[in-house]
Amino acid sequence: MRGLMGSSGHVTPPSQQMLARERASVCSLVDRRLYLESEPVRDISCSDISLYEECLARLWLDGESVPPTDFLPRIERLKLMRWFDGMVVDRLIQRLREHPYRVLGCNISGASTGGDARWKKTLQVLSDEPTVASRLVIEITESEPIDPDLGVALVRELQQLGCRVAVDDFGARYGMQTARAIRYPDIVKIDASFLVGARGNSTDGARRLSAMVKLAKQTGGEVVIEGVETQEDLDQVKRQGIRWGQGYLFVAKADTSL
């Protein structure tokens, strides 16, 4: 909801009551319309082997799938990211219960990694259900920096419970900072922009991608290159010596139903 326009033409901040109503409306809509769509992280030499499936949050509105780029800015503005990320994690845990042979992951913002009451409940659930915890991958996005104390402590707890932690969009915004803070991520996902930059036999682009691959390998985690959309992209990933790729090229062959 846009701010109300005063008579002077300046934007008047909405009242607390209006904000509360808007937050309640958005929460209700997301709760009813949220669904998860999986995208596999594939072995580039054997498409039958997956590291895990990233579950992407979508909203189903008016008969169409709405991507997060269209609704997350509003959720962020309303300061609902912790709530939203918590809901996605809760639903993913339920999917893991329903699909006992699948390994699933989801994104959370670095700002959502504080040790609040919701995380305490989630950690207890994972402690009680180790077969679920061992198949859960939590990806920390580059959009916000991870809290150096509470966030890093949460990562350690998740790993101790058997979950894997991935750094998403490595090389973009806060991705590298997150990797340094975590120190020992299980998975590092190189931002798709580096693969895009290497297209068309770009020597400079391939060199930048190689440099990012080298940095990612230094973390000790499994390295994934994101944004694999064409055979050219796949060939580039192979030249980089990386086993895992993710992108639209693999989606058509995947079972994305959850």
Query: Of residues 253 and 154, which shows the higher confidence score?
Result: 154
Per-residue pLDDT tens over the stretch 195-204? 999 999 899 9
The CA distance from 250 to 230, in Å, is: 10
Per-residue pLDDT tens over the stretch 71-118? 999 999 999 999 999 999 999 999 999 999 999 999 998 888 876 788
Sorted by where each starts, the structural domains of the chain and their CATH numbers stand as 34-251 (3.20.20.450)
In this prediction, residues 166-178 reach a mean pLDDT of 83
**pLDDT value of residue 47:** 83
Query: Taking 50 as the threshold, does the pLDDT of residue 9 lie above it?
Result: no
The number of helix segments (H) and strand segments (E) in the chain equals 11, 11
In this prediction, residues 166-173 reach a mean pLDDT of 89
The CA distance from 179 to 33, in Å, is: 33
Mean predicted lDDT score pLDDT of the chain: 89
**pLDDT value of residue 117:** 84
The CA distance from 176 to 189, in Å, is: 10
Q: Give the chain's radius of gyration (CA, Å).
A: 19
**pLDDT value of residue 145:** 80
Is pTM beyond 0.85? Reply is yes
Cβ-Cβ contacts under 8 Å for 184 (sequence gap 6 or more): 159, 219, 220, 221
**pLDDT value of residue 176:** 77
Per-residue pLDDT tens over the stretch 116-154? 788 999 999 999 999 999 999 999 987 778 888 888 899
The CA distance from 68 to 103, in Å, is: 22
